[in-house]
């Protein structure tokens, strides 16, 4: 008896269908009752692979724009679409599905920084998601700052403390603020270095500091390196080295810090989990672990040093820059240039602990506003 396509096991059929482009899969899903049953099965879900391919390319097939109108497409696929698709596409070009409140909450938490929950108020999760999505689109296409008059940012001090500061959004300039920080720390003669720490659907987290070869360890900001490069993880030849599994480095202080019998603070190497809320873009999907492929550029040095054998000195400024996706992905311009260089969003202490929870035990004091704290 000859074997036909529809006589194959459903798992194999679903695997084959997942390799089709989205437009073809839509047509195939209506060819027979069995194919319709397979394509609409949530556990098989052959739609996931072609949907993710469309999201990764930012070049959408015609059928992608109105998938919500097709009952054969499981609603669970919209978690990925609402998390990763550009704001303009979701707001103006596609038909949105009817989802449960818990699913809208999942989309909200996977897409936006946790500090943005302040805007939810009494709105439903659907309303909150769409309002903030429109706010992101509006901020990236205009210079309007009426919705957020003050932009918050974080400063990691070399003393171990952290300040949550704010500045007027209308004239918010991270480089101007950091230039004042350099002046106060007698570092004005050194160039500033900008490092992309993490990139999400709508923002990327930037760290602005000074790399230098200091004469004394007193000016070294050890928490700056720990924030950018998590202690116990290194990227060498596109491989991850976890010092926790290396007996040689297990009992050594992070990043070659000198042992001190008088030190009041000791650090242990934490266990890391991939960040899901919010969800990083594909080039940093393993964050905070290293993601091979060239998009994760946190590691530019080795051992206890940064590039060219330097250290982070003085304070480190951390802020969130609003970004616009381009065809082919989010790797657009360098952090110090481009049309969105004057478009920023608040980055709070809560956001810092979300994307870098290992910093909680390293920070000696968190201060709301300027000053040294009480």
d(C-alpha 22, C-alpha 340), whole Å: 32
Q: C-alpha 354: how far from its chain's center?
A: 10
What is the enclosing helix (H) or strand (E) of 176? helix 174-184
Contact 112, 84 (CB under 8 A): no
Contact 306, 225 (CB under 8 A): yes
Q: What mean pLDDT do residues 261-283 have?
A: 74
d(C-alpha 274, C-alpha 286), whole Å: 6
pLDDT at 246: 38
pLDDT at 301: 66
pLDDT at 12: 92
pLDDT at 242: 43
pLDDT at 217: 82
d(C-alpha 174, C-alpha 195), whole Å: 13
How confident is the model over 287-335, as pLDDT tens digits?
999 998 888 888 876 556 667 778 999 999 999 999 987 654 444 455 5
Nearest in space to 136 (alpha carbons), one of 328, 295, 340, 329: 340
Nearest in space to 192 (alpha carbons), one of 370, 317, 320: 317
Q: C-alpha 31: how far from its chain's center?
A: 41
d(C-alpha 94, C-alpha 54), whole Å: 14
pLDDT at 74: 93
User: What are the C-alpha distances in Å from 195 to residues 191, 198, 296, 319?
Assistant: 13, 9, 10, 11
pLDDT at 2: 57
User: What are the C-alpha distances in Å from 273 to residues 87, 238, 347, 358?
Assistant: 28, 19, 22, 11
pLDDT at 295: 86
d(C-alpha 320, C-alpha 346), whole Å: 6
Contact 315, 156 (CB under 8 A): yes
pLDDT at 237: 40
pLDDT at 350: 95
Domain residue extents for the chain: 1-72, 75-142, 150-254+269-368
How confident is the model over 118-150, as pLDDT tens digits?
999 889 999 999 999 999 999 998 888 888 889
Query: How many CB atoms lie under 10 A from the CB of residue 261?
Result: 4
Whether the pLDDT of residue 343 is over 50: the answer is yes
């Amino acid at each position: 008896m000859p074997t036909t396509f529809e006589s194959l096991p459903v798992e194999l059929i679903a695997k084959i269908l997942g390799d089709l482009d989205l437009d073809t899969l839509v047509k195939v899903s209506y060819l027979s009752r069995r194919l319709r049953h397979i394509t609409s099965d949530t556990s098989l879900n052959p739609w996931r692979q072609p949907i993710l391919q469309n999201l990764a390319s930012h070049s959408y097939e015609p059928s992608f724009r109105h998938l919500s109108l097709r009952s054969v497409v499981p609603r669970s696929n919209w978690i990925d679409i609402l998390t990763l698709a550009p704001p303009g596409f979701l707001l103006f070009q596609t038909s949105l599905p009817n989802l449960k409140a818990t699913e809208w909450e999942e989309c909200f938490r996977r897409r936006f920084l946790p500090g943005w929950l302040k805007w939810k108020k009494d709105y439903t999760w659907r309303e909150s998601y769409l309002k903030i999505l429109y706010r992101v689109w509006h901020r990236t296409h205009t210079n309007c700052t009426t919705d957020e008059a003050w932009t918050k940012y974080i400063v990691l001090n070399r003393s171990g403390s952290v300040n949550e500061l704010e500045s007027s959004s209308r004239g918010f300039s991270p480089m101007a603020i950091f230039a004042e920080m350099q002046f106060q720390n007698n570092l004005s003669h050194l160039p500033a270095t900008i490092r992309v720490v993490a990139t999400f659907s709508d923002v990327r987290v930037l760290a602005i500091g000074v790399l230098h070869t200091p004469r004394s360890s007193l000016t070294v900001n050890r928490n700056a390196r720990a924030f950018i490069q998590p202690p116990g993880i290194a990227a060498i030849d596109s491989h991850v080295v976890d010092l926790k599994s290396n007996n040689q480095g297990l009992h050594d202080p992070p990043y070659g810090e000198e042992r001190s019998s008088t030190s009041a603070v000791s650090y242990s190497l934490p266990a890391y989990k991939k960040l899901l809320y919010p969800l990083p873009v594909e080039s940093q999907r393993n964050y905070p672990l290293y993601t091979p492929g060239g998009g994760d550029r946190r590691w530019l040095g080795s051992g206890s040093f940064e590039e060219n054998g330097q250290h982070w000195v003085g304070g480190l400024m951390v802020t969130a820059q609003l970004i616009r996706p381009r065809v082919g992905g989010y790797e657009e311009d360098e952090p110090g240039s481009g049309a969105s260089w004057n478009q920023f969003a608040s980055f709070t202490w809560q956001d810092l602990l979300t994307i870098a929870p290992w910093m909680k035990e390293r920070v000696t004091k968190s201060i709301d506003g300027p000053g040294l704290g009480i």
